[in-house]
């Protein structure tokens, strides 16, 4: 368990606005299945659902509750692309493979719609996403990026220059926007729980409060828990920052980073619509960025700020409200009712890290804060691989990843120093 995680979950708007109608008892005793999935977030649930649909007998182990980690606490933004620039993929794999990867990120969004329709999941989907530039240099860079992505990747967006910005967002902070109608936002915990219900209805055996303690690899793997064990032919590790003790070799390739969100009191619909008439999700283009959106019940859900110490920052609600007021000073009267956070697993190059530890042990990690859609696709790809078609999964396994420098003792100070530089760069841009 990461430090401060209990505090970070205690005042979540998402947790307060859902009812958990299903409970999944802990594993007691021994179990034999075809595949054991470890991790009850979107990647793990998606893998379990897809595998069960393909005829495998699947068990899913979750150390806490379904959606406890980033899948149930994130900003709710569903965005095309990856956390890294597509040039990172292109430099490693070439242009054609990069186009394939980018197309798969569009497929990941379509997969959300497909699953919600098939399994009657009400996730409060709202279409529309705005990339927001601060300052003339970043406005020019954003315009060039929009054109480059249109030409090279067929990614159609609408560039919005300074004179039109005010009709899209009631804020003086931004100098240009790029509108993407295919991306959007949703209630992440409602989606995660809905997907778990779907997986269970198909026959997936879900066990909460069941931490996997260790794995014995072999032709038949054994996963040991506190009160039982699972024997299986295939294993999928999808615990991300919560599962690194099971595969110490992967630990050095990801870093847990805390990110924080507030939820305001509800506004009138007219006031909310005036702030963001399209009701799009919005994210600025800074390296250390802010992201925000309107909830279905007209609250401002505002996220930003990062921490590398895994310790909850002091005075979280007021400091996050101060960030919100830099964007929307007219919301100074609006009470903050919720303040929470969570940890995301970032890689050195911000590209996702999928692969195998053995022929029958797969892992999914490194979504780097951009995984709400990609986690679902990752589950589908690993299921395809286990079923015998690994072509698309192996596009991602070809990506090279490096350990964070300095090992456990020095990698954190090194990252903090690097982030200080990026904050300065944002201020000077």
Q: Copy the structure tokens of residue 425.
A: 């760069």
Which position has the higher pLDDT, 150 or 406? 150
Q: Copy the structure tokens of residue 193.
A: 């729980």
Q: Copy the structure tokens of residue 212.
A: 């996997």
The residue ranges of every structural domain in the chain are 13-74+190-252+349-405
Q: How many CA atoms lie within 13 A of 17 on its CB side?
A: 23
Closest CA to 321 of 304, 298, 342, 345: 304
Report yes or no: 52 and 369 within 8 Å, Cβ to Cβ.
Answer: no
Which position has the higher pLDDT, 288 or 290? 290
pLDDT confidence of residue 255: 83
Which position has the higher pLDDT, 413 or 326? 326
pLDDT confidence of residue 252: 82
* pLDDT greater than 60 at residue 240: yes
pLDDT confidence of residue 5: 59
pLDDT confidence of residue 294: 98
pLDDT-derived band at 429 (thresholds 50, 70, 90) equals low
pLDDT-derived band at 8 (thresholds 50, 70, 90) equals low
pLDDT confidence of residue 257: 84
Closest CA to 35 of 49, 17, 21: 49
pLDDT-derived band at 423 (thresholds 50, 70, 90) equals very low
Closest CA to 85 of 137, 151, 153, 139: 153
CA 38 from centre of chain: 17
* pLDDT greater than 70 at residue 409: no
* pLDDT greater than 90 at residue 428: no
Q: Copy the structure tokens of residue 305.
A: 């700020």
pLDDT confidence of residue 245: 73
* pLDDT greater than 60 at residue 4: no
pLDDT confidence of residue 248: 77
Most confident of 16-25, 134-143, 281-290: 134-143
The DSSP letter of residue 266 is: P
What is the CB neighbour count within 10 angstroms for residue 251? 18
Q: Report the distance separating Cα 377 and Cα 109, nearest Å.
A: 9
* pLDDT greater than 80 at residue 101: yes
Q: Copy the structure tokens of residue 39.
A: 């991790």
* pLDDT greater than 80 at residue 62: yes
pLDDT confidence of residue 246: 85
Q: Give the range among 232-241, 385-394, 407-416 with minimum mean pLDDT.
A: 407-416
pLDDT-derived band at 2 (thresholds 50, 70, 90) equals low
Options 3.40.50.2300, 2.60.40.10, 3.50.50.60, 2.40.40.20; CATH of 13-74+190-252+349-405: 3.50.50.60
* pLDDT greater than 50 at residue 328: yes
List of E strands, 113-216: 126-133, 158-160, 176-185, 205-207, 214-216
């Amino acid at each position: 368990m990461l430090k401060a995680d209990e505090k970070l979950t205690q005042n979540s708007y998402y947790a307060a606005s859902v009812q958990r109608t299903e409970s999944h008892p802990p594993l007691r005793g021994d179990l034999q299945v075809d595949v054991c999935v470890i991790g009850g977030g979107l990647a793990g649930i998606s893998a379990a659902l897809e595998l069960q649909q393909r005829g495998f007998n699947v068990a899913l182990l979750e150390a806490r509750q379904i959606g406890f980690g980033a899948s149930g606490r994130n900003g709710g933004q569903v965005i095309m692309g990856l956390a890294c620039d597509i040039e990172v993929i292109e430099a490693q794999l070439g242009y054609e493979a990069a186009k394939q990867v980018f197309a798969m990120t569009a497929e990941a969004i379509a997969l959300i719609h497909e699953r919600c329709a098939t399994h009657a999941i009400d996730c409060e989907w709202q279409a529309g996403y705005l990339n927001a530039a601060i300052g003339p240099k970043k406005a020019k860079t954003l315009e060039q990026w929009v054109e480059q992505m249109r030409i090279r990747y067929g990614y159609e967006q609408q560039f919005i220059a300074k004179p039109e910005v005010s009709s899209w967002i009631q804020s003086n902070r931004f100098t240009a926007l790029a509108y993407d109608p295919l991306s959007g936002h949703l209630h992440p915990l409602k989606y995660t729980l809905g997907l778990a219900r779907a997986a269970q209805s198909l026959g997936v055996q879900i066990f909460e409060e069941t931490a996997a303690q260790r794995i014995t690899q072999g032709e038949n793997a054994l996963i040991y828990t506190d009160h039982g064990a699972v024997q299986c032919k295939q294993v999928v590790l999808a615990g991300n920052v919560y599962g690194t003790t099971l595969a110490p070799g992967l630990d050095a390739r990801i870093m847990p980073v805390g990110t924080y969100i507030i939820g305001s009191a509800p506004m009138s619909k007219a006031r909310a619509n005036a702030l963001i008439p399209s009701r799009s999700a919005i994210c600025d283009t800074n390296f250390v960025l802010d992201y925000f959106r309107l909830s279905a019940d007209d609250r401002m859900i505002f996220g930003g700020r990062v921490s590398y110490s895994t310790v909850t920052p002091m005075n979280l609600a007021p400091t996050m409200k101060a960030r919100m007021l830099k964007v929307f000073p007219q919301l100074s009267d609006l009470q903050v009712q919720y303040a929470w956070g969570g940890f995301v697993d970032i890689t050195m190059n911000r590209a996702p890290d999928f692969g195998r530890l053995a022929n029958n042990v797969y892992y999914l990690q490194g979504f780097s804060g951009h995984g709400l859609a990609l986690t679902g696709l990752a589950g589908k790809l690993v299921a395809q691989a286990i079923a015998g078609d690994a072509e698309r999964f192996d596009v991602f396994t070809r990506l090279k990843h490096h350990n964070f420098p300095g090992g456990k003792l020095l990698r954190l100070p090194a990252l903090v120093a690097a982030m200080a530089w990026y904050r300065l760069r944002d201020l000077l841009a």
